[in-house]
């Protein structure tokens, strides 16, 4: 038997591959479980003590100082991981993991409208690149493992391993091509991460399978119309968030004032509306929309405004769960106006707006199958695909349209 140092190179590479994929998946699962557990505490604390909304401007100021002194590298978020995948030699710092965890929890504790995907993916990518730095790994191989880390973080936080695997491939695609050689690493890391997170006892949201009603010819025609509307809504979300971020960047003191002002605006809007329904993740709103409950038509616009202001002002958290919420609310409203099935269109909106905003249509189609059942497959392609095509080239992840370094 050969000693390890003289073992066949393929055998050593296989062992390294298994070790790294298992390590990435397990670390993503455990970090996501910690985050979901902490997020549940923060959310329930805010629900029981809605007066915490008065602390959102102060939380914004604290987040500003934390992020400012952490440095630019730790504040790139998902864009930093995507840039590393596309060829940047800059390391994703380990500091990113605790930084995004703490600042996201502060945002949710005080009622900001943010999500959770960005936090889980950034923690996973940060931990993964720190591990990779211990090995002499070429950039092309590093890119593969970082895709797997993004897949693992997405899978663990949402409990959707197949959508997570495709997300890792699709969100970081270079020159508009999927990297099929990363499919098995992404899938393996996703499954390990999801299994690890579930073993901790942390649960995920579950939704009822959507029955497809018999559609008339006019019913089929409404599907692409809905897709066009969702694609345009995606543009509004993208441009609104980038506009606020760019506006704040024009002032020297914006790094400390912008999150405080954003927190103040959310506070005022919450008081004016007299409800906390639009703060936080928006899970109750999603449940109402998917159950077919009659919802005021403008509800989606209010949630969109809350989320754009929260994230565009520099408060921390992900975009995806609010996008799910806005899309489900819009789908419900669209069905109400056009006389269609509100449950069906809420489910279609749930996945399609994310496809439009993040440029991940295949991920969202698979997500629809995992969450709502295979009956949504053909109809889902129409709405998701149309929304993606209409939504322009821009994305919530600015690094997607930057030139590749590869």
In the predicted model, is pLDDT for residue 174 greater than 60?
no
pLDDT at 404: 55
Max CA-CA distance within the chain? 75
d(CA 78, CA 402): 13
Residue 177 phi/psi, 5-degree rounding, is -110, 140
Task: List pLDDT tens digits, range 218-270.
Answer: 878 999 999 999 999 999 999 999 888 887 666 656 778 899 999 999 999 99
Partner residues linked to 115 by β-bridges: 318
| DSSP calls for 6-55 | GS-HHHHHHHHHHHHHHHHHHHHHHHHHHHHHHHHHHHHHHHH-GGGGGG
Considering only 94-108, 244-258, 317-331, which range has the smallest mean pLDDT?
Answer: 244-258
Q: Residue 322's closest CA among 47, 95, 107?
A: 107
What domains can be seen in the chain, in order of their start residue? Answer: 4-199 (1.10.3080.10), 217-401 (1.10.3080.10)
Nearest to 158 by CA among 338, 403, 323: 323
Question: Is residue 315 within 8 Å of residue 60, measured between CB atoms?
Answer: yes
Determine how many CB atoms are found less than 10 A away from the CB of residue 252: 7
Residue 223 and residue 190 in contact, taking contact as beta carbons nearer than 8 Å: no
pLDDT score, position 219: 79
In the prediction, which pLDDT does 293 show? 87
- Which of 14-18, 321-325, 374-378 has maximum average pLDDT? 321-325
- The structure's pTM equals 0.91
Rounded Cα–Cα distance for residues 29 and 149 (Å) = 10
């Amino acid at each position: 038997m050969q000693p390890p140092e003289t073992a066949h190179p393929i055998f050593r590479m296989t062992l390294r591959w298994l070790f790294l994929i298992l390590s990435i998946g397990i670390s993503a699962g455990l970090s996501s479980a910690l985050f979901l557990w902490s997020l549940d505490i923060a959310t329930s604390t805010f629900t029981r003590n809605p007066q915490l909304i008065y602390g959102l401007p102060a939380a914004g100021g604290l987040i500003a100082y934390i992020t400012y002194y952490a440095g630019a590298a730790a504040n790139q978020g998902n864009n930093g991981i995507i840039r590393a995948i596309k060829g940047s030699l800059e390391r994703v710092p380990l500091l990113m993991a605790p930084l995004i965890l703490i600042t996201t929890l502060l945002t949710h504790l005080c009622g900001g409208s943010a999500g959770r995907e960005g936090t889980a993916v950034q923690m996973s990518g940060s931990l993964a690149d720190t591990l990779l730095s211990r090995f002499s790994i070429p950039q092309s191989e590093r890119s593969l493992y970082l895709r797997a880390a993004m897949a693992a973080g997405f899978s663990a936080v949402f409990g959707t391993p197949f959508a997570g695997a495709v997300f890792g491939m699709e969100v970081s695609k270079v020159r508009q091509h999927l990297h099929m050689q990363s499919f098995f690493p992404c899938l393996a890391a996703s499954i390990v991460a999801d299994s690890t997170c579930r073993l901790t006892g942390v649960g995920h949201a579950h939704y009822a399978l959507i029955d497809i009603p018999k559609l008339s010819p006019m019913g089929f025609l409404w599907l692409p119309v809905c897709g066009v509307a969702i694609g345009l809504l995606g543009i509004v979300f993208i441009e609104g968030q980038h506009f606020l971020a760019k506006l704040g960047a024009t002032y020297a003191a914006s790094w400390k004032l912008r999150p405080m002002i954003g927190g103040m605006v959310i506070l005022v809007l919450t008081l004016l509306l007299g409800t906390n329904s639009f703060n936080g993740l928006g899970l109750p709103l999603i449940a109402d929309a998917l159950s077919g409950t009659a919802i005021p038509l403008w509800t989606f616009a209010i949630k969109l405004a809350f989320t754009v202001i929260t994230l565009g002002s520099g408060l921390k958290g992900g975009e995806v769960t609010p996008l799910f919420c806005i899309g489900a609310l819009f789908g419900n409203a669209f069905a109400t106006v056009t006389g269609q099935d509100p449950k069906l269109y809420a489910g279609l909106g749930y996945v399609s707006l994310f496809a439009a905003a993040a440029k991940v249509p295949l991920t969202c189609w698979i997500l629809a199958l995992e969450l709502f059942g295979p009956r949504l497959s053909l109809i889902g392609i129409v709405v998701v695909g149309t929304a993606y095509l209409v939504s322009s080239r821009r994305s919530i992840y600015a690094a997607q349209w930057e030139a590749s370094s590869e």
